[in-house]
Structure 1
């Protein structure tokens, strides 16, 4: 390993400035370009997807309309479960690879768990579940799309409840609807469409999904890893195992399949694609206000090269979810929040200088302008965000 190329933290930060479309000259002209650049946008909090795209769009591109067209009209982006059982927005071109590499196995476990809970806590069985799913799919085929509440009215079985964890400390009543729709979504049989309400809403309509072409799981893992390394390399084996949620052996096989090359990073050994050993010039100075769960902030398990460990307690919740962050030249230097009156406020946790403060202030003003009258509160709140946002 002594002869491997060394990629220091400064060059890694330069890479994300350009490849993650954060430097001013690298900003994208469409939401689909942002999706392609980042591979996966965390979709657990719907507002975060819009905020992540908005931070990376060139001037003159309206973020909400651009992303809604990509998701609900052009179909270039799709919302689906992916790594670590998490909801993401992916480029539609990667949906089959995500499904085969990651979601299919998770969906099988989810179905097994649902059947176990149904049969233990109610009189329902596998045949009852299959008929319920058939009725849901038939209703969606007839309607085109429907909310969970509308489906519950049309398919009364969905309004049923069952006892979860009977006889245990976790015992409670759960809705059949939420679990059935989740399983069908993870299996790629239905897909989330346009929500009710504003772009911050998670009350999605459902529609029958287009079938994904079948892919070999190993080939799909190689395809997904190739795209991710192109966006986020270099990355360590620990980064890759954490991000994908795959077994270490599967990560190693995928690295071999894409011909990944070892390089040296501060943490030890990282990997890049075989054509990615060249030096990356540092872009012009850039500032960004990124949302909670932003894919850049959540891209790697090892984060010391862009985040001062002393700032973790202020910026993360107890489950490891990062809140809204302020960036300067590839480093997290603070956090931000929106107050109830709509003001976007931030606090710097490091001395960045007057030029950086002006650039960060300009980004805060740009964010406040396009958010307008909408109020954004992260689903997973962090200490600094709570303090700045007024609780």
Structure 2
């Protein structure tokens, strides 16, 4: 049997249905959203809440429900994951993420920290081990704490050392900032409640929930299979980019899961073994206003099938971070922003997104977003040209 071809229209249909964006596909709660997306990008805290709200059948109460899942029920966990980036995962997936991705990243991070400290004449590895054990013990006593609070119990966290002396990016780091990040990458601590509102970027720390140690290859197979079930088809380049793994690891996981090859405009793609049947487009047209760094907009490295190349300069910053996007029937057609007075404004940039039907649907989504935000004002952590222009 030859490779089945999956065209752009079907890829957009899969995205609409599986990412809970088409009419009638809304999720019941934050946990269901996280489960269906595998991971919510967590670098910008507001992304988590707005990404959830865009996919709930009933967005009222999005913030309270998401906070409860993160900080009370702990059914969602904010932790380092793929590409050494902070994500929000279903709690049941933390062991898989740690084994598949975190272990290798953590080893490199610890080596780099010790190297930086040695170059600055800071204490050695034994000293660092003492400090981290003391810090973890203090965190266990406190439950949740800021770095400053932990430094009250372990004063050595306040010590500073020079980083990259003589380089253009030279700076001074505290032991607390580097050590707590390292412990996060190692899966020993996670982010707790923010110090301010749900849009705050300042977090307390908490001990990570206990999880079993899994075989790395098994964990990689499971993570990639979960992601392909939601985002397939995808190319090897997409998979390598999303996971941050080496090509050999991606290929090993694809073989282990028995992934099926399909034909895409970009070349060979992959789906999970039982996912090659055609997927019909949603019955009704749909619009969505997704936040900056949303996992749908950032899900693939090769994006021409849902994002025209000419739109990228307006919608991405120089580091490749996507800003708030307007979607119409599986394609990015523009961007949106929130002005200081709370008004949600947008601009349609793609000819596929012009017309009265599109504008009516986007207006309805903007009203829904306005209701979700209430008095809260959201500015993306990584600002893009169009977002800046719309708020000027």
* Band of TM-score, shorter chain: over 0.9
Q: 1:170, CA displacement in angstroms?
A: 3.2
Residues in 2 aligned to 1:212 and 1:266: alpha-carbon distance in whole angstroms? 41
Residues in 1 aligned to 2:204 and 2:364: alpha-carbon distance in whole angstroms? 36
Residues in 2 aligned to 1:169 and 1:60: alpha-carbon distance in whole angstroms? 46
Q: 1:174, CA displacement in angstroms?
A: 1.1
Q: 1:168, CA displacement in angstroms?
A: 3.5
Residues in 2 aligned to 1:186 and 1:385: alpha-carbon distance in whole angstroms? 31
Q: 1:350, CA displacement in angstroms?
A: 2.3
Q: 1:344, CA displacement in angstroms?
A: 0.8
* Local SS of the residue matching 2:5: coil
Q: Which position in structure 2 is the counterpart of 1:369?
A: 371
Residues in 1 aligned to 2:298 and 2:149: alpha-carbon distance in whole angstroms? 35
For residues 60 and 298 of structure 1, do their structure 2 counterparts lie closer, same or farther at Cα, with a shift above 3 Å needed? closer
Which has the higher mean CA deviation after the structures are superposed, 131-140 or 229-238? Answer: 131-140
Gaps of 5+ in 1: none
CA deviations 1:67-103 (Å, max 9, x no partner) are 1111112222111111111111111111111101111
Q: Which position in structure 2 is the counterpart of 1:218?
A: 217
Residues in 2 aligned to 1:125 and 1:320: alpha-carbon distance in whole angstroms? 37
* Local SS of the residue matching 2:24: helix
Q: 1:200, CA displacement in angstroms?
A: 0.5
1:85-96 to 2 correspondences below 5 Å: 85-96=84-95
Q: Contact (CA 8 Å) 1:8, 1:266: kept in 2 or not? A: yes
CA deviations 1:25-66 (Å, max 9, x no partner) are 101010000000100111111111111111001125411111
Tell me how large the CA RMSD over aligned residues is: 1.2
Residues in 1 aligned to 2:264 and 2:20: alpha-carbon distance in whole angstroms? 22
TM-score of the aligned structures, taking structure 2 as reference length = 0.97
Residues in 2 aligned to 1:250 and 1:362: alpha-carbon distance in whole angstroms? 44
Q: Which position in structure 1 is the counterpart of 2:341?
A: 341
Q: Which position in structure 1 is the counterpart of 2:301?
A: 301
Q: Contact (CA 8 Å) 2:259, 2:273: kept in 1 or not? A: yes
Q: Contact (CA 8 Å) 2:344, 2:370: kept in 1 or not? A: yes
Q: 1:216, CA displacement in angstroms?
A: 0.9
1:237-316 to 2 correspondences below 5 Å: 237-283=236-282, 284-316=284-316
For residues 163 and 4 of structure 1, do their structure 2 counterparts lie closer, same or farther at Cα, with a shift above 3 Å needed? same
Residues in 1 aligned to 2:193 and 2:170: alpha-carbon distance in whole angstroms? 34
Q: Contact (CA 8 Å) 2:59, 2:372: kept in 1 or not? A: no
Q: Contact (CA 8 Å) 1:188, 1:211: kept in 2 or not? A: no
Structure 1 moving runs of 4+ over 4 Å:
none
* Local SS of the residue matching 2:20: coil
Residues in 1 aligned to 2:357 and 2:336: alpha-carbon distance in whole angstroms? 18
CA deviations 1:295-344 (Å, max 9, x no partner) are 00000011000011111110011111110000000000000011111111
1:5-44 to 2 correspondences below 5 Å: 5-44=4-43
Residues in 2 aligned to 1:24 and 1:66: alpha-carbon distance in whole angstroms? 22
CA deviations 1:173-199 (Å, max 9, x no partner) are 111111010011111111111111110
* Local SS of the residue matching 1:360: helix
Count of residue pairs the alignment pairs up: 389
Gaps of 5+ in 2: none
Q: 1:208, CA displacement in angstroms?
A: 1.5
